Structure 1
């Protein structure tokens, strides 16, 4: 499937009504260096009889203008504060970018399997914002009409402004405005800025982060970074339905201590993918390996964050062990590590992170698998008047592992990750064969 996408229109959409002109400060969590990239979603909708392209395009543009009233910071521009302490948003109704395009090669069936290469779908979000601090809009929406009458909606949202849950809430509100299910005053939840709620009480040295394994450095004993930068990465995709997830839970429980028998689907699936990834890469037995994943802290904080808070309200959970132990000690061992990493996150943990993060603090990259759970963001419910999406995924498949929702299977999860060419066959075999 080659890329042949033609842009028909690219316009800045400004808020439908006047919005506050102000400069808003982002939180310490928002301002972390490793969040200065764009979250890129791809939602694909099956062709529907009688769907008028012109009317649909106009409806989406109008709905975006309305959504930018309560979510007016998404129409602003992000910059560093003069003192360099954090980031801020200049809100002057500068606008979000809306693109309409057409493709003469893409069709709905192309999204049923993993793409052949990581950037195959790049043109379905034609403007890739690599650095939002250079003045680019923090929100880009592209509606691409496919050759079979289906539609792809690509969305790029600056991670500095919102996390996965926040962006999922925005997209559902945007969609409800497009269909008329809700008006501007009826959006649920009401978007809340209030970034000061995650401001640190005091500013500590980033050296304090060294006690957190996600930020500590480990020796690269195998040319790990070189391998991932020099070897071609191949996208993979495998779906775990309810039966296969139950199978993993049973396997993890059978190899765990009695006190650790209750595991979630996320815990066992993360552990299984982590082990399969490590085994397929054939890493040295003494190489330290880590798995990183977002832990939502909205309800873990005391007091909890208000409903509608759409900023970054997560910290990184991190489990680590040697390649030898990860491979040899079984799924129960790995799952217990993931579970313990989640349970360590409480109010004190979050405050400590907020007080210590700085512009220079970044998670380690050596021996690290990053997992992002998109299957619980509500993306599968985003209906712009074309029905629910037939496919939810990323614009580009990367070395970061995504857990995606599956159409019409509420409890199923699709795992997508790109792995080096030399490991792809073994990884595919191991992920499909938990008892091997």
Structure 2
């Protein structure tokens, strides 16, 4: 695949207007060890007759320069503070990287199914930042023209600067400028920095039992060589689309086996789908019955804390929800049991819970354990399906690389459908695909 994508231009793009020169402190939530990586998005657009590739490239590049004015920290550089307490952004308009490329091998039909291997689409974002604190630009955009006239836009954003909601707001603002749907007006919602809102409380909270309060940070015994298996065995990407009728089937099945405690509130699509994928994944891996498993997922707390965070806050504003149980219980107690675990781990998140997490990560290097963990990220409700750079709505939205992190993705032209992409060990892939597609099995 070394020749599948040819880079035509790579240039640093700075804000098109003067921006503040300052050093901004990131929050304790932003500075967590497990967020020190790049979120990598891939958008694929159908060929449009008469579309001028040169003019479109110029529009996207110019829009990036405009978008970097209100979002000027994306043109800075992230580093550790001198005292090592947290991270900060040096804002001197250093710029974001823009790449134009062409592919003689990829066409839009290549994205109608899972990639053949984890890194098949890697070249669609040519700069992969391994260490986000070593001076690399926190934002990389690559526009690749495919062999059939379609286009792929790869975007890499330093996770320390923003979460999924924040990055989606930026991407839609950037795309509106490229498509001409917005002029010089500020984006809505207006980007808000204000990371000090997530500073630890002046008075430290009393210690609590972390085992019961924050299981996402606790270690569980590895009874089956779990980490070794995922490190040594080749992972096979999978992609399964769940339409609304499939989601309704899962809701009915979950409710019939374990009705929600609040009878006025049925299980959500996220609760049943993440629970179903978790059970299918666990059963396919054929793990020992006493192995403890975790389902980790982000819980947005913008409106769960009091006072709520302001509209437009684009920093990391989530904590990890953690559903935890044994393989035996997950498999034998059914979908309703697993869905209830997901729901209860969401409902724990309130102001006090968030304050305790902030306090914890401010004074330690707490990080989630990978043993027995399936990490689910919900991209299907971020508005990524609306990111239009002047080429229409994307035909495909997903990650650059499909790996062991499970992503719930939007589906083109199917508002209520969800695509699930996750890579599983090759020895388990056939069984996983069968179980995930067969909720009653």
Is 1:4 aligned to 2:9, yes or no?
A: no
Q: CA deviation at 1:132?
A: 1.3
What is the aligned partner in structure 2 of residue 216 from structure 1? 218
What is the aligned partner in structure 2 of residue 413 from structure 1? 418
Task: Give the distance between the partners of 1:143 and 1:73, measured in 2 at CA.
Answer: 22
Is 1:299 aligned to 2:289, yes or no?
A: no
Q: CA deviation at 1:205?
A: 11
Is 1:278 aligned to 2:301, yes or no?
A: no
Q: How does 1:142-181 map to 2 (within 5 A)?
A: 142-181=142-181
Q: CA deviation at 1:259?
A: 2.3
1:57-89 deviation per Cα after TM superposition (whole angstroms, max 9, x unaligned): 100010000000000000000000111110000
The answer as to whether partners of 1:209 and 1:356 remain within 8 angstroms in 2 is no
TM-score, normalised relative to structure 1:
0.98
Task: Give the distance between the partners of 2:306 and 2:190, measured in 1 at CA.
Answer: 21
The answer as to whether partners of 2:260 and 2:340 remain within 8 angstroms in 1 is no
The answer as to whether partners of 2:32 and 2:361 remain within 8 angstroms in 1 is yes
Q: How does 1:27-426 map to 2 (within 5 A)?
A: 27-202=27-202, 209-210=210-211, 211-257=213-259, 259=261, 262-358=266-362, 360-426=365-431
- Secondary structure at the aligned position of 2:261 is classed as helix
- Secondary structure at the aligned position of 1:235 is classed as strand
1:313-359 deviation per Cα after TM superposition (whole angstroms, max 9, x unaligned): 00000000000000000000000000000000001000100111056
Task: Give the distance between the partners of 1:158 and 1:258, measured in 2 at CA.
Answer: 38
Moved more, 404-413 or 353-362: 353-362
The answer as to whether partners of 1:382 and 1:388 remain within 8 angstroms in 2 is yes
The answer as to whether partners of 2:70 and 2:186 remain within 8 angstroms in 1 is no
Task: Give the distance between the partners of 1:52 and 1:209, measured in 2 at CA.
Answer: 57
The answer as to whether partners of 1:234 and 1:424 remain within 8 angstroms in 2 is yes
The gaps in structure 2 that reach 5 residues or longer are: none
Q: CA deviation at 1:168?
A: 0.3
Root mean square deviation of aligned Cα: 1.5
In structure 2, the CA distance between the partners of 1:260 and 1:235, relative to structure 1 (3 Å rule), is farther
Q: CA deviation at 1:207?
A: 9.4
- Secondary structure at the aligned position of 1:273 is classed as helix
Task: Give the distance between the partners of 1:377 and 1:83, measured in 2 at CA.
Answer: 35
Task: Give the distance between the partners of 2:338 and 2:44, measured in 1 at CA.
Answer: 35
Task: Give the distance between the partners of 1:212 and 1:244, measured in 2 at CA.
Answer: 33
Q: CA deviation at 1:184?
A: 3.2
Q: CA deviation at 1:130?
A: 1.3
- Secondary structure at the aligned position of 1:259 is classed as coil
The answer as to whether partners of 2:118 and 2:423 remain within 8 angstroms in 1 is yes
Q: CA deviation at 1:183?
A: 2.4
Equivalent residues, number: 436
